[in-house]
Chain A
Amino acid sequence: MKNLNKNSNLKSGFKIPENYFENFRIQKLAKAKKATQHESGFSVPKGYFENFEVNSKEQKESKVIALNSRKIVAIAASISLLFLSYLLMNKSNNESINSTYQTVEIDPVLLEDYIDFYIMPNAELFEYTGSSIEFDIAENDFKSLDDDAILNYFEDDFNNLDLND
């Protein structure tokens, strides 16, 4: 490739701020590094992993539940189930239950950003690992063209190109 940047600039008319490349820095890198450490939103107490150890005594001790306690739990569960059934069958109560759940509207753009950044950050990498990108050019798309006409049209720009590469 020859004189890539100068020619790109001249041919396209695009220009860049003075010293843009000299001053180019990856500004969001520190933020991105930090973000990847907290993708879920969950955090842990300070020094949690440093101080983490498996307490073998607690693991070996099985929890003993007295028979009486089990009965109490079963009775409590039955009462809760009955109460819940009553609530669900009662229309007015249903409405009051529903009203406790407020619908939070999510900005679809923010949601998409979140999915792209956190949920599916590497979705496109499946494509990147592929060995080829298919083109939508059928063999019969090729038509014999009058190269001279094209070259004449673009004049100087085209004269610098090696069409046969």
Chain B
Amino acid sequence: MQEKELVRKLQDVKHKDNAFQHLVDLYKERLYWHIRHIVKIHEDADDVLQNTFIKVHKNIDRFKGESKLYSWMYRIATNESITFLNKKAKKQKLSSQELQEHIIENLASDVYFEGNEIQLQLQKAIATLPDKQQEVFNLKYFQEMKYAEMSELLGTSVGALKSSYHLASKKIEKYLKSN
């Protein structure tokens, strides 16, 4: 189904439920991994993915087609992830940075993390990056997204994305070497 057709059905009360199921099947994995790299814990990623799709369902009539549907959902997922982490930090009376450190410290004992010590260190290194650099690094390194696609998704020039990725890689390299 073409994206325009899918959007038309999503915005049509008669076809909305079927089209929405199709949308979920189409994008659940991509959105899950995007969210997972932000919140790190599977159960939290599942929660945020649920919330993201609910928000998409609720607001699909507002989607004007000015960007790609995935770009729109990606921004919702990003925002939901950040909101989720902020709320979690507040509940645990921690700063965002402290929460991120706490999550990563506990990754080793997470049943849904099977990374080795280097991968654990890599997560710690990523956590030291500014949010935007984390986002670019996750998209490029883990999700292997092409710069052109990333540029469309984030509304940032390819050149800026490349420099951001290189900068992030350099900082990670430095962190890993010194730790």
A contacts, CB < 8 Å to B:
1-5, 7-8, 11-17, 20-21, 24, 26-29, 32, 36, 109, 112-113, 116, 121-122, 124-125, 127-137, 141-143, 145, 147, 149-150, 153-154, 157, 160-163, 165
- B25-56 vs A, Cβ < 8 Å mask (1 yes, 0 no): 00011101100110010100010011101110
A to B CB contacts below 8 Å, 23 in the list:
A7-B143, A8-B142, A8-B143, A11-B142, A12-B37, A12-B119, A24-B28, A26-B54, A32-B57, A109-B90, A124-B76, A124-B83, A125-B59, A132-B154, A133-B156, A136-B132, A137-B160, A137-B164, A143-B167, A145-B170, A147-B166, A153-B176, A165-B148
Contact A7 B115 (CB under 8 A): no
- Sorted nearest first, the 8 A-B pairs with minimum C-beta distance are A13-B115, A132-B155, A165-B147, A142-B163, A13-B119, A124-B79, A8-B33, A32-B54
Q: Number of residues in B with C-beta < 8 Å to the partner?
A: 67
Interface centre among B30, B90, B142 (most CB of A within 10 A): B142
- Residues from chain A with a CB closer than 8 A to the CB of B58 are 32, 36, 121
- Residues from chain A with a CB closer than 8 A to the CB of B15 are none
Given contacts A16-B112, A136-B132, contact A1 B42 (CB under 8 A): no
Contact B119 A127 (CB under 8 A): no
Which B residues between 59 and 75 are near A, CB-CB below 8 angstroms?
59, 62, 64, 66-67, 72, 75
* CB contacts between A and B, total, < 8 Å: 160
- Residues from chain B with a CB closer than 8 A to the CB of A116 are 83
- Residues from chain B with a CB closer than 8 A to the CB of A15 are 42, 112-114
Q: Quick one: which of A12, A21, A133 contacts B29, CB cutoff 8 A?
A: A21
